Amino acid sequence: MEKTPTPTHCPYCALQCGMNITPLPQGGVEVTERADFPVNRGALCGKGRTAAEVLSPAVRLTTPLVREGGRLVEADWPEALDRIAGRLAAIRERHGPDSLGVFGGGGLTNEKAYALGKFARVVLGTSQIDYNGRFCMSSAAAAGTKAFGLDRGLPFPLEDVPRTGCVILVGSNLAETMPPSLRFFTELRENGGTLIVVDPRRTRTAEQADLHLAPRPGTDLALALGLLHLVVAEGRTDEAYIRERTTGWEEARAAAMAHWPEYVERITGVPVPRLREAVRMFCEPEAAMVLTARGPEQQSKGTDTVGAWINLCLATGRAGRPLSGYGCLTGQGNGQGGREHGQKADQLPGYRKLDDPAARRHVAGVWGVDPDSLPGPGRSAYELLDALGTDVRALLLMGSNPVVSAPRAAHVEERLRSLDFLAVADVVLSETAELADVVLPVTQWAEETGTTTSLEGRVLLRRRAVAPPPGVHSDLYVLHELAGRLGVEKGFPTDPEEVFGELRRASAGGPADYSGITYRRLAEENGVFWPCPEEPAGATVVAGGDGTQVALSEGPAASDTSTSVRHPGTPRLFLDRFATPDGRARFVAVAHRATAEEPDAEYPLLLTTGRVVSQYQSGAQTRRVAELNAAAPGPFVELHPRLAARLGAAEGDPLAVVSRRGRAVAPARITDTIRPDTVFMPFHWPGEGRANTLTNPALDPTSRMPEFKSCAVRVERVEAV
């Protein structure tokens, strides 16, 4: 009998493309087009199209592993779980709760992220929890919160992009990272709008632009200040908007006016006429947007850099207006939800602050614990990894592969090796799992139900379509079993819908309010935008997603509660007011500063890192997919022909890229799409071509984001080393 396809979403990036999956008689699933999801309308990139391959037992873990005599050997679940619980308890007994670390991932579902944060704080009692999303968009989150009082990646749906007048896309190569999203920008141009791309490389995305600005890596902050200077000098500010909807303009204006266009040209390398052209293109239409991604965010001044781009939006009246605004293109599959539900060092579920007494009381009430028993904020991701083997003696890690993805990766690998105990739950035997004392094989997207929150703030339901292989359990099962072994018998259900029900209560009243969202609604409505509070019984009128008042028909039961109406969710934020106490957006006065590591005689070039279309993040999954691996089999060093000529390097020659932290070797890829003072390496691979061996862990003072996008290097032909 033919099986009905199950509608679900891609396991990879934050676009969360809709797809159908159908179990195959021989095992595994088939991925097919699903046209009813408005973000991708059936389109999938190669990663999504081949996602079923990672379900194959041939490439994934199906048995727990424990370390014996220095080797990982197969074990059964009770033995593996006993070992983890026993070691965590013993280390906590000896060194205290903060000797236990927990590291999560932006690919974990909302339910898992929520349960992991609760497990760390309630069962282990540790403050030492953070996740790899810190390496992703934390600077944009910090800047958005400062300016608007709330961080939601995009405060409007992607469907608004084709209807605006101009988009400045800063540091995003979405033609490679999330290809189906490119159509929104193509439609923008077809509708008469313009696209400006800011990127040191002429990427496949920049090729689509009406104007490409190619600043030196790490100078996007100066670039934004230069544009704002010109906006003011040319009288293009929206004074009424500034007066009515913002605060802090005078200080921000003064800071921008100190950045003369000629000065900005010297810093960035972008000629003044191109700056003027960008200002004209951005200011002339009725509506415009700035969208940032990892380029400006992964810097040790990432928060200020994003703040400068937000200032540009505010000065021109572009935020909180229809078809206008600032947004961040979050990268990881659940990068948005992953930062909202408690696995971040300083956050509680619902995007509440861990050091807010009212937030602690609310969440502790849901968890049934004393608010004073909850630990305070812990270390950020890199600081936590750097502390391994010192006061943090054991680590439980879920859904992350920092041996490849963390900055200064050789040092991080050494810190992981120095632990007294490392437990990893993952789908595959990642490079980090290879170092573990215990490895647990866990379920993945098509084998489990759960929710994610896309880069638009749209909460989505991923559905289970196929049973996992024997011997594989969910992360929720892992936490349930470990909690029980550590003396907490209740509060860690294995049913994701039950966990989501608790998450709804924990998030109620918080900035990211999910209380009006249910699995049933997600299935019926193809996703719901947060905030979506639960309406009180008897309500008949609620606030609409665009800030208008919308009368709702009674219709079918709104939720699995007695509520008779549904809050419609909030596709568009800030149209009436920002989420600050006075409802106004806040300018933040920022000034240019150099990157943490400028080139010098010994390291005369800049390295910037990024992604290629056929690999995802640390590559732990995509490197195991034959088609993707064939398309992108290994790292490379992209360099300009002039630099190649200076080195005497030809296409494909092995080159050593050397920074103060180490050396990586990869073949040369010579192209004039990169600046002559810059080299580029994708970061998806381990081993001698690992780009993150080189990257600088200098941290942004606010977001604690490392400086992935810029560090000083030299390049040598390998035979010369």
Residue placing its CB nearer to ligand SF4 in the complex, 169 or 422: 169
Q: Do 482 and 81 form a contact (C-beta atoms < 8 A)?
A: yes
Using the rule CB under 6 A, give the single segment among 174-182, 223-231, 267-275, 422-430 that binds ligand SF4.
Answer: 174-182
Is residue 15 near ligand SF4 by the rule CB under 6 A? yes
Cβ closest to ligand SF4, residue 45 vs residue 113: 45
What's the order of all strands across the beta sheet hosting 438-441?
Answer: 71-74, 65-68, 438-441, 421-426, 394-398, 100-104, 129-131
Question: Least CB distance from residue 331 to ligand SF4, whole Å?
Answer: 9
Nearer to ligand SF4, 99 or 622 (CB): 622
Q: How far is the CB of 434 from ligand SF4 (least distance, A)?
A: 25
**Residues touching ligand SF4, count (CB under 6 A):** 14
Q: How far is the CB of 296 from ligand SF4 (least distance, A)?
A: 21
| DSSP H helical ranges for 585-686 | 626-631, 641-647
Task: List all residues 6 or more positions away from 157 whose beta carbon is below 8 Å from its beta carbon.
Answer: 38, 456, 458, 529, 571, 572
Asked whether 662 and 351 are in contact (CB, 8 A), the reply is no
Which residue's CB is nearer to ligand SF4, number 334 or number 693?
Answer: 334
In the bound state with ligand SF4, the residue whose beta carbon lies nearer, of 115 and 460, is 460
136 binds ligand SF4 (CB under 6 A): no
Binding of residue 680 to ligand SF4 (CB under 6 A)? no
Cis preceding-peptide flag for 470 (omega within 30 of 0): no
Smaller CB separation from ligand SF4, 50 or 710:
50
Q: How far is the CB of 450 from ligand SF4 (least distance, A)?
A: 16
Q: Is 55 in the site for ligand SF4 (CB under 6 A)?
A: no
Q: Minimum distance between the CB of residue 51 and ligand SF4, rounded to whole angstroms?
A: 7
Separation in Å, CA 688 to CA 42, 622, 649, 667, 712: 38, 19, 19, 11, 19
Taking residues 24 to 43 in sequence order and writing x for each that binds ligand SF4 by CB under 6 A, - otherwise, the string is ----------------x---
Q: Applying CB under 6 A, which of residues 5, 6, 8, 12 lies at the interface with ligand SF4?
A: 12
Closer Cβ to ligand SF4, 182 or 287, answer by number:
182
Choice between 61 and 178, CB closer to ligand SF4:
178
Is residue 618 part of the contact set for ligand SF4 (CB under 6 A)? Answer: no
* Count of H-run helices and E-run strands, the chain: 23, 32
Tokens representing 576 are 């009436």
Question: Minimum distance between the CB of residue 520 and ligand SF4, rounded to whole angstroms?
Answer: 24
How far, CA to CA in Å, does 403 sit from each of 57, 132, 406, 416, 692? 23, 12, 6, 8, 9
Q: Which residue of 34, 47, 393, 714 would you call a contact of ligand SF4, by CB under 6 A?
A: 47
The span of 15-23, 191-199, 334-342, 554-562 binding ligand SF4 (CB under 6 A) equals 15-23
Strands 654-659 and 662-670: what pairing? antiparallel
Q: How far is CA 123 from CA 1, 489, 700, in A?
A: 46, 10, 31
Task: Please state the closest distance from residue 179 (CB atom) to ligand SF4, in A.
Answer: 6
Query: Does 18 interact with ligand SF4 (rule: CB under 6 A)?
Result: no
Contact in structure between 330 and 452 (CB atoms under 8 Å): no
17 near ligand SF4, rule: CB under 6 A: yes
Output the smallest distance, CB 455 to ligand SF4, in A: 10
Smallest gap from residue 526 Cβ to ligand SF4 (A): 15
> Shortest Cβ distance from residue 177 to ligand SF4 (Å)?
7
How far is it, in rounded angstroms, from Cα 640 to Cα 678? 8
Q: Cβ distance 148 to 576 under 8 Å?
A: no
Which amino acid, residue 25?
Answer: P
Our CB check for ligand SF4 shows the closer of 48 and 378 to be 48
Q: Which of 180, 200, 457, 496 binds ligand SF4 (CB under 6 A)?
A: 180
* CB distance 487 to 86 below 8 Å: no
Out of 48, 149, 544, 568, point to the residue binding ligand SF4 (CB under 6 A): 48
The label of the residue with tokens 């056929």 reads: 614
Shortest Cβ 301–ligand SF4 spacing (Å): 28
Per CB under 6 A, the list member of 72, 102, 178, 231 interacting with ligand SF4 is 178
CB of residue 171 to ligand SF4, shortest distance in Å: 18
Q: Smaller CB distance to ligand SF4: residue 185 or 587? A: 185
Is 16 an interacting residue with respect to ligand SF4 (CB under 6 A)? yes
Helices 110-118/496-507 angle, 10° precision: 70
Strand 65-68 relative to strand 71-74, pairing: antiparallel
Helix (H) or strand (E) holding 610: strand 605-610
Map residue 282 onto helix, strand or coil.
Answer: helix
Considering only the stretches 13-21, 212-220, 282-290, 462-470, report the one whose residues sit in contact with ligand SF4 under the rule CB under 6 A.
13-21
Q: Which is nearer to ligand SF4, 40 or 401 (CB)?
A: 40
Closest CA to 194 of 213, 216, 179: 213
Residue 621 sits in the site that holds ligand SF4 (CB under 6 A): no
Query: Cα separation of 579 and 195, whole Å?
Result: 29
The CA–CA distances, whole Å, from 340 to 568, 598, 657 equal: 20, 35, 37
Q: Quick one: DSSP state of residue 433?
A: G
By CB under 6 A, is residue 704 in contact with ligand SF4? no
Segment contacting ligand SF4 by CB under 6 A, of 175-183, 219-227, 471-479, 538-546 = 175-183
Residue 13 binds to ligand SF4 (criterion: CB under 6 A): yes
Contact status: 314 vs ligand SF4 (CB under 6 A): no
Part in contact with ligand SF4 (CB under 6 A); list of ranges 7-15, 56-64, 229-237, 247-255: 7-15
Strand-pair partners of 170: 198, 292
Q: 333 vs 533, which CB is nearer to ligand SF4?
A: 333
| Side chain identity, residue 413 | E
Helix%, strand%, coil% for the chain, nearest 5: 35, 20, 45
Question: How far is the C-alpha of 675 from the C-alpha of 665, rounded, in Å?
Answer: 20
Dist. CA 104–CA 692, nearest whole Å: 19
Nearer to ligand SF4, 40 or 559 (CB): 40
Nearer CB in complex with ligand SF4: 161/396: 161
First and final CA of the chain: distance in angstroms?
Answer: 63
Indicate the residue among 224 and 620 with the shorter CB distance to ligand SF4: 620
Residue nearest to ligand SF4 (CB): 48
> If binding is defined by CB under 6 A, does position 45 make contact with ligand SF4?
yes
Question: CA dihedral in degrees (98, 104, 110, 112; nearest 10)?
Answer: -80
Q: Kindly state the tokens that stand for 266.
A: 């010297």
The answer to whether the beta carbons of residues 330 and 107 sit under 8 Å apart is no
Tell me: does residue 587 bind ligand SF4 (CB under 6 A): no
* Entry field: residues in the chain: 721
Q: Which amino acid is at 338?
A: G
Distance from chain centroid for Cα 450: 18
Q: How far is the CB of 19 from ligand SF4 (least distance, A)?
A: 7
Q: Letter for the amino acid at 654?
A: P
Distance in Å, CB of 531 to ligand SF4, minimum: 24
* Residues in touch with ligand SF4 (CB under 6 A): 10, 12-13, 15-17, 40, 44-45, 47-48, 178-180
